[in-house]
Amino acid sequence: MELRTRDRVISLDHPIVMGVLNVTPDSFSDGGLWLDPEAAVAHGREMAHDGAAIIDVGGESTRPDAEPVDEDEEIRRVIPVIEALADDPALSISIDTRKAVVARRAVEAGACIINDTSGEAADGSMTPVVAETGAGVVLMHSRGTPATMRSMTEYSDVVADVARFLASWAVGLEAAGVLQDSIVLDPGFGFAKTVEQNLVLLERLDEVLGLGYPVLVGTSRKSFIGAVLDLPEDQRLEGTAATVAWAVSEGAHIMRVHDVKEMSRVVQMADAIASAKWGKG
């Protein structure tokens, strides 16, 4: 399987790691750490050295109750970082945003993937940005806004409902001219889902994979891991590793993580086992 992103093709024959780079003051796990552009760029390069194939740059927190950021401020935060990291032709950059204007500017600055975290509140003008730029796109399921998502967890069947929504979104993009192999699906772990619903989504991840698109899993340090283990954000490494290993064993393609060095090793080991199981080694 391949992911086509503008002028490059990313192989997904084996799972890859996407490193989280939040240039925000208020992200749930690393807010404020990389707000300085020079520190952010250095961290992005460090993650690439540690095994990240994609660096996901975000300028607006989507944690529960996060304050919204206007377009100009989000652009001010992300563009210098993307421009600096895009100087490395071996590194693929994605922009984590809900706004079409930010996405377009980021692609112009060198990003090749748009990680659209808007979910059911999608910006209608994002589709032509994806189609016109030829960027790869990650479609993440969510509901509402950071202020309302925790109250929007009613589903008839969380896996079936999420899969149905993502499939419909992907088909709409294809109808607008986006290539099927430029689309990635993300079930949206931690977004408008209870602890139990997140666990069910992981256990039944094969149903999302069955839609035929690459699947991204973003469980890193999430609150459902903290709830299961009764641990704060800075002590969820092992819990994250368990979810990453499970996702790889199920066939997921991209792991979005904060702890790149450690999770790259988990991915490599879990993939070796899964490849042996299916005779891919």
Summarised one tens digit per residue, pLDDT across range 72-125 is 999 999 999 999 999 888 899 999 999 999 999 999 999 999 999 989 887 788
Sign, CA dihedral 243-249-254-259, equals positive
Select from 110, 116, 115 the least CA-distant residue to 92: 110
Q: Are 21 and 58 in contact (CB under 8 A)?
A: yes
Mean pLDDT of the chain: 92
Active-site positions?
222, 256
The Cα 221–Cα 237 span in angstroms is 7
Structure tokens at 167: 């499939």
- H or E element at residue 101: helix 100-109
- Residue 91: CATH number of its domain: 3.20.20.20
- By residue range, what is the domain housing residue 207? 2-277
Hey, which bits of the chain come out as E strands?
A: 2-5, 8-11, 16-22, 52-58, 92-97, 113-116, 136-140, 183-186, 216-217, 254-257
Q: How far apart are CA 55 and CA 260, in angstroms?
A: 10
What are the phi and psi torsion angles at 11 (to 5°)?
A: -75, 135
Provide mean pLDDT across the span 270-275.
Answer: 95
Nearest by Cα to 87 from 35, 137, 48: 48
Query: Who wins on pLDDT, 25 or 207?
Result: 207
What is the tally of structural domains in the chain? Answer: 1
